[in-house]
Amino acid sequence: MATKLLLLFAIYRLIVVVGLTLDPNKLLRLGVEGQLSVHPSDLKTASSDFGGVKRAEPVAVLHPALPEDVVHLVKAAYESAHGFTVSARGHGHSTNGQAQTTKGVVIQMSRSRVSRIDSINPTWPMVLEKLMYVDVWGGELWIDVLRSTLKYGLAPKSWTDYLYLSVGGTLSNGGISGQAFNHGPQISNVHELDVVTGKGELLSCSEEQNSELFHAVLGGLGQFGIITRARITLELAPQRVRWIRVLYSNFSAFTDDQEYLISLHGQPAAEKFDYVEGFVIVDEGLVNNWRSSFFSPQNPVKISSLKAGGGLLYSLEITKNYDESNADTIDQEIEILLKKLNFIPASVFTADLPYVDFLDRVHKAELKLRSKGLWEVPHPWVNLFVPKSRIADFNEGVFKGILGNKSSGPILIYPMNKNKWDERSSVVTPDEEVFYLVALLRSALDNGEETQTLEYLSNQNRQIRRFCDETGINVKQYLPHYNTRQEWMDHFGDKWAQFYQRKMEFDPRRILATGQQIFKPSFKTNTASR
């Protein structure tokens, strides 16, 4: 009885706030298995995200217990005369309100205090060992996918640096890390999806079935449907990782070596590295290097001594995966590869650790930052795809110019091969065979230093984008965020017509993912105050 009363209250809020005219009896089916919540703590959580920059309060939050709960809610929004918006939220790690919605309903896809994903389908994640893939709920976190597949000695091929992200969330954007040069992004390693479209239809899609929806949803920013199930490609999981970092003072040598290493993607495993990333070293503080604690107090390389001239340093981060069966050859394989690189000779630092510990490396740094109150702060992040032909100009204008040897968070920079990305997906990349991810993962701190305030960092982000525009560096945003329709059209370029057509086909009332600010709903929302 108590649950039904809460549900009726949630429906009442929908009627009052958004002018819902749908038969309430239809909505009564919502939350029978899951819960449609109006609890203040649920609304507060759904109103913010990791970015801490934007806030939008929904009317209610749905904690689904079955995929059909998602179907019923989206269908109710689609069929309502006035309608309401719906946004899917995973772990809430977006940075510009992408998973938020004002006066609509947020679907909390990841685990919560209200429901456990196990209740949706107790067999998920389902590992099909012989076929080498795993079926997972769209709100499942990658760390839990990894734990499930490792029981069979298997693991997904492509990762993100941080594993506490939802499967549906990363597949809606791309999903990248240092394995992308070899295996492509996570969206290039998907066999099949179950998707609830903006019409409230639950459809299975793949290369062979509903292929237009399949390619639209992958990298589609949540605009075409909500992923409730994903079938992910697996490989044999290595047991251990040799993790190596080397330093450069010369940017050209740094990028030349990175580009050489990713050119080896087609070579046998013994003749290439398994992971290639790089980053700019500004200083050795925790907030600037939270991605790992790799450079420990026992590190024989004194970074400050190498920076005596005041210039920037660049770090190449590479790994070799191995098992006990080939442990005796791993040192030789690494030595052969390192001999072809032009790093500072005295700067080699190596660690050896279990495969799962390497993949989960960022979480350890997260715990350190949380303990110091440095995690739940605003994060004005910018992620850019920069064409290879202009990466040196970007270094001069941004790393050495705008940033001025100062940062308040890690700066990643590493190349990827365009041929590992499927052009049929919704993701937009630069029109060059090799392009770089440049990720400015800054944290805004209230510590009295102007250069670390949210206002200062946000202004710097605008300066960086303006610099690229004025110098003709045709960057594309990864995890894009724009404020106007024209900016979105410019972002998608030749893909805009297709993107728009897909939106009209799969979400014609434009009720999904309105936090992205790409399309406005086709209905007028009620502005009555609560």
Six-digit token pair at 421? Answer: 């990305």
93 is annotated as an active-site residue: yes
Q: Which residues of 387-414 are buried (b: 16+ CB within 10 A; e: fewer)?
A: bbebbebbbebbbeeebeeebbbbbbbb
Kind of pairing between the strands at 190-197 and 154-156 = unpaired
List 93, 183, 265, 379, catalytic entry: 93
- Active-site residue flag, 277: yes
The residues, any chain, with a CB within 8 Å of residue 142's CB and separated by 6 or more, are 156, 159, 160, 163, 164, 165, 166, 167, 170
Q: What is d(CA 340, CA 354) in angstroms, rounded to the nearest whole number?
A: 27
Q: How many angstroms separate the CA atoms of 165 and 138, rounded?
A: 11
* Dist CA 523 CA 530 (whole Å): 20
DSSP state of 222: T
Task: Quote the Cα angle for 108-169-76, to 5°.
Answer: 45
SS3 271: helix
- The catalytically annotated residue of 68, 69, 144, 277 is 277
How far does CA 242 lie from the centroid of its chain? 25
Cβ burial of 530 (10 Å; 0-12, 13-18, 19+) is exposed
Q: Which of 135, 161, 333, 360 is catalytic?
A: 161
Task: Check if the beta carbon of residue 13 is closer than 8 Å to that of residue 59.
Answer: yes
Beta strands in 15-125 (DSSP E): 35-37, 60-63, 86-89, 105-108
- 135 phi, psi to nearest 5 deg: -95, 130
Please classify residue 190 by burial: count the beta carbons closer than 10 Å to its beta carbon, then call 0-12 exposed, 13-18 middle and 19+ buried.
buried
Q: How far is residue 292's CA from residue 365's CA, in Å, rounded to a whole number?
A: 6
**DSSP assignment, residue 524?**
P
CB 149 within 8 A of CB 125: yes
Q: Examine the residue annotation and report whether 265 is marked as an active-site residue of this protein.
A: no
Query: 261: which 2 tokens?
Result: 């290493």
Q: Is 59 exposed, middle or buried (0-12, 13-18, 19+ CB in 10 A)?
A: buried
- The residues assigned a catalytic role are 93, 161, 277
